[in-house]
């Protein structure tokens, strides 16, 4: 009798635990699905540097002798690092929360995809709220200027505006989530920063995920 009671008690606990797990899983899946309804836009860009030169110093058209030396040294050493911090606003216009766990990014230079990467941070996008998602982007631009030299690099560095954007630089993102060890990705990238050299394609500096997610 006592053994049967223990078995029934354990079974009840397992049933309750399973129900709680399934409820939690259902909520997570609902939040993941709702990510497709969120809207993404550029909030600001900061801490932009090219070969160690702060582009804010170049935005006004002024370039110091020290800046020239640093840029020339980058060409000589075959290392032209670019780094920038991008803050992306994710707006959830629905009545349900959305869950973002990772985000792929793609950097376009002169309208060509130049580098890709992934940031791994969990973000809950609450219903009817906008959450700012920080994204750190970095790459080495040497192969872009290896054949054109210092003047081309100076021109590129000077293309940045005071707000950190550049007419030669574009950034796209692809939101992703983790479910049971699997990565579910949006099937397409969303344009966040658009280089002016891409011409008029009807896309602005914000985008909306309008289709489903796909498994990686």
User: What DSSP string runs through 36-99?
Assistant: GG-EEEEEEEEEEEETTEEGGGTTTS---HHHHHHHHHHHHHT--EEEEEEEEEEEE-SSS-EE
- 160, 164, 170, 176: CA torsion to nearest 10: 160
Beta bridge partners of residue 206, listed in sequence order: 41
What are the pLDDT tens digits along the chain (216 aa)?
533 433 433 344 334 434 443 344 344 445 556 778 889 999 999 999 999 988 887 766 677 888 889 989 999 999 999 999 999 999 999 988 888 888 999 999 888 898 999 988 888 899 999 999 999 999 999 988 888 888 888 888 888 888 888 888 999 999 887 767 777 777 789 999 887 544 333 333 333 333 344 445
Q: In the Cβ-directed half-sphere of 24, how many Cα atoms lie within 13 Å?
A: 8
């Amino acid at each position: 009798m006592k053994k049967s009671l223990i078995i029934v008690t354990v079974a009840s606990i397992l049933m309750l635990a399973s129900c709680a797990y399934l409820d939690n899983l259902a909520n997570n899946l609902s939040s993941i699905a709702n990510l497709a309804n969120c809207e993404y836009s550029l909030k600001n860009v900061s801490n932009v540097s090219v070969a160690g030169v702060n582009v804010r110093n170049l935005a006004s058209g002024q370039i110091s002798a020290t800046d020239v030396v640093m840029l020339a040294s980058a060409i000589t050493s075959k290392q032209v690092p670019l780094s920038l911090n991008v803050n992306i606003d994710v707006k959830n216009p629905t009545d349900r929360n959305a869950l973002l766990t990772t985000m792929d990014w793609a950097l376009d230079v002169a309208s060509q995809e130049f580098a890709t990467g992934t940031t791994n941070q969990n973000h809950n996008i609450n219903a009817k709220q906008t959450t700012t998602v920080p994204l750190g982007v970095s790459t080495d631009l040497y192969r872009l200027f290896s054949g054109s030299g210092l003047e081309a690099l100076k021109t590129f560095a000077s293309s940045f505006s005071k707000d950190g954007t550049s007419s030669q630089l574009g950034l796209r993102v692809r939101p992703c989530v983790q479910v049971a060890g699997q990565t579910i990705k949006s099937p397409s990238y969303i344009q966040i920063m658009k280089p002016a050299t891409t011409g008029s394609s009807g896309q602005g500096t914000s985008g909306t995920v309008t289709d489903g997610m796909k498994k990686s």
